Structure 1
Amino acid sequence: MLSFDEKLAIIEEFEELTRNDISMGRVNFHFEDSLYDKQIVVYRLHPNGNGFVYAGGIEDYPTDDKGMVNIRAFNAQALRSIIQQSIDSLGLSPAEKDPVMEEWLNENDQALVLMREDDGYAVYADDQLEGTFNSYEEAAEFLKQEGFSRL
């Protein structure tokens, strides 16, 4: 297990994070350039070595109800990895994290394009917007109802 000072040194390698000292010797680190309301990447790093990293936007990490992962037993490589992934998850839009661009055709060979955008999903005919949707499922259902199928 890394000590508090070792964890602190690793976290401070990330120049995009801002240190905020809080009560009882604990430290938070914020990502001020976050695209989301969430800015805390490292939460309550304690002098005893305990602390949390935000992983709510990262797959393959079991998180608590706040999206946090306990980093008490993390080694240096695991700590660097989860911090970088956390920063990336907060610094990329949904369209950048999980891009979608699909072409759908109907029986007349007319094409529509389904794209993920920041606020949801959009369907385009060339440069003309045909519709916007909150989810992929809604957009796909619209296209199916209009007689289109995915390539």
Structure 2
Amino acid sequence: MLSFEQKQSIIESFPELMKKEISLKRLNYHFEESLYEKTIVVEKLHPNGNGFVYVGDLLKYEKLANDKGLVNIRDFDEKSLREIIQDSIDYLSEETDTPIEETWVSRDGTILTLVHDQWNWDIYHQNNLEESFGTREAAMNYLQEEGFKLKK
């Protein structure tokens, strides 16, 4: 496990991040050039080595991220830490004009569309919004519980 100082050094090697001290000697690192309201890339880096990196809904991290899109970096090595920080910066600096769409079908033939458009995973029946979720996993769980399967 990297020490607090090692993590801080790695994080500060990204010139686009701005350090801000918060309570209990913790640090946040902001990406002021973010295209979105969210600007914190590294959140609550603590002297004990704990901290979080924001990854939003990046599918690469869906098994690691909590419901707020944060990944705990306590046990990350240098390579993994650099990679996740760069992925976060890229995520916050990319405009996603083309939503991801999936078609889900029930046994009786009802068709729903799962759409990822920037921050949310939305479920539509025709043009009507039925549900909205913060993660793909939550949306998929809902669809599966309701008897829908991904159309291949």
Q: Who is 1:63 aligned against?
A: 65
> Is 1:73 matched up with 2:86?
no
CA distance in 2, matches of 1:64, 1:57: 10
CA distance in 1, matches of 2:92, 2:60: 16
Q: 1:15-34 residue pairs with structure 2 within 5 A?
A: 15-34=15-34
The alpha carbon displacement at 1:86 in A equals 0.1
CA distance in 2, matches of 1:53, 1:27: 12
CA distance in 1, matches of 2:38, 2:21: 18
The alpha carbon displacement at 1:57 in A equals 3.7
Off by >4 Å, runs of 4+ in structure 1: none
Identity %: 54
Q: For the pair shown, which has the larger CA radius of gyration, 1 or 2?
A: 1
> TM-score, normalized by length of structure 1?
0.63
Secondary structure at the counterpart of residue 8 of structure 2:
helix
Q: Which runs of 5+ in 2 are unaligned?
A: 101-116, 119-123, 128-152
Secondary structure at the counterpart of residue 35 of structure 1:
coil
CA distance in 1, matches of 2:99, 2:69: 23
CA distance in 2, matches of 1:99, 1:56: 15
Secondary structure at the counterpart of residue 94 of structure 1:
coil
Please give the root-mean-square deviation of Cα atoms over the aligned residues, in Å: 2.1
Q: 1:1-151 residue pairs with structure 2 within 5 A?
A: 1-61=1-61, 62-95=64-97
- Report the AA paired with residue 20 of structure 1: K
